[in-house]
Amino acid sequence: MSRPLAITHATVVTGDARGTLLEDRTITVDDSGLITTVAPTAQVEVPVGARVIDATGRFVQPGLINAHAHLFSDGKPLKPVLADPRVGTLVARFLRGPIGQRWLLGKTRNAVETQLNTGVTTIRSVGDPGYEVVQVDREIREGRLLGPRLIPSGPLLAIPGGHGAPQIALIGADADTVRKHVRRSLSRGVRAIKISATAGVTDAKEVGYAGRPEMTEANMRVICEEAHQAGVLVAAHAQGADGIRAALRAGVDTIEHGANLTDDIIDLFKNNPSSLRGFSALIPTLMACLPLVKLDRAITGANEVAKVNAEMIFEEMLGGIRIALECDILLGMGTDSALTFVTHYNTWRELDFLIRYAGLTPAQALHAATQANARILGVEDVTGAVEPGRAADLVVTSANPLTDIRTLDHPISVVVRGHVIDHPKVERFAELDQLIDQF
């Protein structure tokens, strides 16, 4: 239980796509962590015994929702040797052993705490070495750890030698194997499933390799059917039109990253009878690609093939975002945290990149990270808006994020399920941040 709370004299940033502001509002929260009132301050009687936060001159918005996160690392550049498949196999064995699991649990706890302290109150994980995110989610729900709302996955599902294999993937080439993998993950408590539908950038073997279809449509359909029977959404790493099309036809609910979209793909996003809820959504991740494009390979550790593929995929991703905006495809936000140069404290940068590179308005970017992501992940009745009946998942900032998105880099307070974190702090990597600031 949390203590009753009242945030008074706040300007509420609603998170809608129009950028609506509600001035001089008081938000009251009961001891179960639910918002009970959002009304003009003059009309609200603060509950007796409530903690009062005077937000005069400050802004309150819904907590951010990160729909595409990995939690196994901190975003610092990895050593190039780890890209060697032989080394990757050894790393995978270590991570799934008892010592590796303890190490991963510590990394995961630190990652979710860091994201929370920069205003991310809901996280969907989409591929980690084991089921450590499920365990941390259990610790949070049982009250043993203060953390964000988690929608945890286990390892993603990939073909032999495919994207993510073997470090963060369960591998299968036939229907029976991938069905067993889904059932195993569901039995372990996951509430998200991720497929590698296409090849990726960092493990590309030649120029033009990223985005090539990998998993068959038939096997992806098996995965979707198994997950949907349990009410679980399926995400697909897909960076090319052919892979996106096959994944959507198979019933995938969210396309991660994206590419230029053809008319038939647009139609599938908006009306997808094989998906869990009849539509699919797009989750771009600019922050995972942009450092590989902008920074010298000597800094990123990427080889020339990966850099050229990153440049191609980045332009494709931008094209997909623009088409999604034009065609009213549901657009969310994810950071691809834990990948190289994608720290857990820089979620605001993804919004900044969506604004500066993809052409979203600040209101559209914030909407993608709050109300839209809540709808995409099926938690719109729980979180994502500053409204009575929703969880008190809130971020208090000194400036209006619609005019200064970087204010989210240093929130004054973060509220998760009614619990207040005052003056949140995180460990930062100054050298890494200085490089990205150059963009």
- Distance CA(318)–CA(50), nearest Å, equals 46
Strand residue runs (E) in 119-259: 120-125, 149-151, 156-158, 169-171, 193-196, 234-238, 254-257
What is residue 84's predicted lDDT score, i.e. its pLDDT? 59
What is residue 209's predicted lDDT score, i.e. its pLDDT? 87
Name every residue whose Cβ is closer than 8 Å to that of residue 436 and which is 6 or more positions away in sequence: 291, 341, 346, 349
pTM (global) more than 0.85: yes
Is 300 within 8 Å of 77 (Cβ atoms)? yes
- Distance CA(213)–CA(185), nearest Å, equals 24
72-124 per-position pLDDT tens digit: 999 998 665 555 556 667 777 777 778 888 999 999 999 999 999 999 999 99
Predicted confidence pLDDT, tens digits, the chain (439 residues):
788 999 999 999 999 999 999 999 999 999 999 999 999 999 999 999 999 999 999 999 999 999 999 999 999 986 655 555 566 677 777 777 788 889 999 999 999 999 999 999 999 999 999 999 999 999 999 999 999 999 999 999 999 999 999 889 999 999 999 999 999 999 999 999 999 999 999 888 889 889 999 999 999 999 999 999 999 999 999 999 999 999 999 999 999 999 999 999 999 999 999 999 999 999 999 999 999 999 999 898 888 999 999 999 999 999 999 999 999 999 999 999 999 999 999 999 999 999 999 999 999 999 999 999 999 999 999 999 999 999 999 999 999 999 999 999 999 999 999 999 999 999 999 999 999 999 9
What is residue 182's predicted lDDT score, i.e. its pLDDT? 98
Position 404, amino acid: D
Is 386 within 8 Å of 11 (Cβ atoms)? no
Quote the DSSP letter at residue 55. Answer: -
Dihedral angle over CA of 155, 157, 160, 161, nearest 10: -70
What is residue 15's predicted lDDT score, i.e. its pLDDT? 98
Name every residue whose Cβ is closer than 8 Å to that of residue 256 and which is 6 or more positions away in sequence: 68, 126, 194, 235, 236, 237, 238, 283, 285, 334
**Alpha-carbon distances of 227 from 126, 159, 337, 376, 404, rounded to whole Å:** 14, 18, 24, 16, 40
Tokens of 227: 């997950």
What structural domains and CATH numbers belong to the chain? 5-62+385-422 (2.30.40.10), 64-376 (3.20.20.140)
Quote the DSSP letter at residue 339. Answer: S
What is residue 190's predicted lDDT score, i.e. its pLDDT? 98
